[in-house]
Chain A
Amino acid sequence: MIRLEKRPQPSRVWSLITPVFAVLATMVFGGILFAMLGKNPVEAIQTIFYDPLFGEFAFYYRPQLLVKGAPLVLIAIGLSLGFRAGIWNIGAEGQYIMGAICGAAVGLAFYPLEAAYIFPLMILAGALGGWIWAMIPAFLKVRFGTNEILVSLMLVYVAEQMLASVSLGLLKNPQGFGFPGSRNLQQYDSAHNAELITGTGMHWGVVAAFVAVIFAYVLLNRHMLGFHIRLTGEAPRAAKFAGVHPARLILFCLGISGALAGLAGLFEVSGPSGVVSIDFNVGYGFTAIIVAFLGRLHPVGILLAGGLMALTYIGGEIAQSRLGLPSAAIQVFQGMLLFFLLALDLLTNFRIAIRKRGVA
């Protein structure tokens, strides 16, 4: 008879191995899915995971890895802090949109003035936009005890409507011949988040993502606040005795994740995307949830997970054009990954014991 025995402490070894196993299991089941769609599974998996890195056109795809990975890592780092403490911000998509809107609005307000201070101001506005959007659920949670999951998620839909509204109205390009969408920030030097080194994909958002990883690592390992975050997640009662101030923790965790998501939105709108348009957001805020879990809520893990997830985006696009794999298949693939991750986590927290029945 197979029984589960709770481990006194989560196994460190298993907690490192499970993400790898989850990825492998996803590849196997993803392959089966692709086969069911009538595609060659080996070819599909190779197109997604191998070709962007080492294939014929890898020189073109490798920089994309940074471009797609940066917003994912930036958002996931913020989310992971809250997730660790049991504070669930799942509205990062909305905060990402608001950051983009606020940042782009500041940039466009200065148009066509060229000055060095414009981009820093936009960064500030982007972070502030995301922060304010996340402070709504934070404040409501602290003041009224409202569920932050539902409020932050509802605000995603509100933010999407805001995005539609500004790209058709307030921020619409006056010289855009009536088409929706703002001026292209890529053509406005002072507001353009250009590549720092041409051809590498390295832009300020990537730098910010790396800084965020280091910042989160230091915070969690060397700082009292980080200790409080971990303590609240692992032993809420002990945290209470240790004098952790729950309200302050909620405001901090939601605030920082909102600001980081806002930054991600700003770097995207001023760089790779360029314009505020109705279909600006592509779900980074939700995929970042998977990234955070795949990275085991650990900053370094998130960095790796962000890279892997970016790979599935890029590889997915290649597979879409080359093999005709539907884009939704990649979405399923990413969802599957989270499933296997959560399921295999069992091995981290429990030991599987095989015992004969009746022997006590």
Chain B
Amino acid sequence: MDLSAINPVLLIASLMVAATPLLLAALGELVVEKAGVLNLGVEGMMIVGAITGFAITVESGSPFLGFVASAIGGALLSLLFVVLTQFAQANQVASGLALTLFGLGLSALMGQSYVGVKPPSTPKLDIPVLSDLPVVGPILFGHDMVLYFGIALTAAVWALLKYSRVGLILRAVGENHDAAHALGYKVVRIRILAILFGGACAGLGGAYISLVRVPQWTEGMTAGVGWIALALVVFASWKPWRALLGAYLFGGVTVVQLNLQAAGVAIPVEYLAMSPYLITIIVLVILSADKSGAPAALGRNFHASR
């Protein structure tokens, strides 16, 4: 065992990378849930985003196009959820599960010819002096654009929900869809947009795993990150900045656990690998007492009777 092999600076830098897919997916789901919709298909949208982004990046050679495509892919899959819950009035829990099961199959099908392919690497930020600074450089100025986009998106979602008129309407729809409908807001239309946004974010998060974090394509590679993102929304009690904090916490657990595996700690690999899931459960238990942040109409379908 050699714990000194773990470099704290690199640890923090890789923690931020590990947290980004979680953060992106959780932010998307946060907006969806704020609109009163519970989409359990995050895992499915992430994995479809992961393969879409991967395939387009490999084919076009441009990670940027890949990320854009992944967002579109995730949004397209979430469109199925829209059809089921907003038009066919299907149960949201069941529809979300369907989305995940379908997405896992679809991604495996799409990704068959991409197993073992190495994608072009995503360019990292390289500011002459700043990126070369000893500690601050790799942590603050040495990442790819998507990571910064995640942080920016956190701020944007926070500001939008808190200060803008759009955010207010979104929250109204999520708290009481009947009242919002009576005020003349298009409940279904707003929810559709929120779901599509959630799908795009989940897709981006998935592509971040297959293009930056791993970077490779393997079947089922998201391995529950989508589900942890769902737990993260509860952890964050539907607040964007707390989602960021939570994502870094979970990212930290994952990275520390991987580093311990590499350092050869006496704990068996399997027990280290299950730790992120166990910690998710523990955190859920601690926080489940407080449900004050949950949108009141969460998970309930809206059907205008008049």
A interface residues with partner B (beta carbon < 8 Å): 4, 6, 88, 90, 140, 144-147, 149-151, 153-158, 161-162, 164-165, 168-169, 286, 289-290, 293, 326-336, 338-339, 342-346, 349-350
Contact = CB atoms under 8 A, between A and B. Distances in A.
A345 B90 contact: yes
Contacts of B285: 140, 144, 146
Interface of B: 40, 80, 83-84, 87-91, 93-95, 97-98, 101-106, 108-109, 112, 219, 223-224, 227-228, 230-231, 234, 268, 270-271, 273-274, 277-278, 280-281, 284-285, 288-289, 291, 303, 305
Contact of A342 (B40, B88, B103): B88
Nearest to A169: B268
A328 B89 contact: no
A293 B94 CA distance: 9
A-B pairs, 6 with minimum CB distance: A331-B105, A335-B102, A328-B108, A165-B270, A332-B105, A328-B109
Nearest to B103: A335
A206 to B, nearest CB: 25
Contacts of B109: 326, 328-329, 331-332
Contacts of B289: 144-145
A150 B230 contact: yes
Contacts of B305: 6
A232 to B, nearest CB: 15
Contacts of A350: 89
Contacts of A147: 231, 234, 284, 288
Nearest to A4: B303
Contacts of A331: 101, 104-105, 108-109
Contact of B224 (A149, A157, A330, A334): A157
A339 B98 contact: yes
Nearest to A336: B102
Contacts of B277: 154-155, 157-158
Give the secondary structure class of B's interface. helix
Contact of B274 (A161, A169, A327, A334): A161
A169 B91 CA distance: 43
Given A150-B227, A153-B227, A326-B109, A346 B89 contact: yes
A153 B43 CA distance: 12
A336 B80 CA distance: 11
A162 B284 contact: no
A154 B280 contact: yes
Nearest to B230: A150
Given A331-B105, A334-B105, A164 B89 contact: no
B100 to A, nearest CB: 9
14 contacts: A147-B231, A150-B234, A153-B227, A154-B277, A154-B281, A155-B281, A165-B268, A168-B270, A328-B112, A331-B108, A332-B106, A338-B102, A339-B98, A346-B89
B90 A342 contact: yes
Given A293-B94, A338-B102, A350-B89, A161 B112 contact: no
Contact of A343 (B88, B227, B278, B284): B88
Nearest to A146: B288
Contacts of A90: 97
Nearest to A166: B270
A271 B137 CA distance: 58
B187 to A, nearest CB: 15
A148 B161 CA distance: 28
Contacts of B234: 147, 150
A246 B192 CA distance: 33
Given A4-B89, A158-B274, 18 more contacts: A140-B285, A145-B288, A146-B284, A146-B288, A147-B231, A150-B231, A154-B227, A157-B277, A158-B278, A161-B270, A290-B101, A328-B112, A331-B109, A334-B105, A335-B102, A335-B104, A338-B98, A346-B90
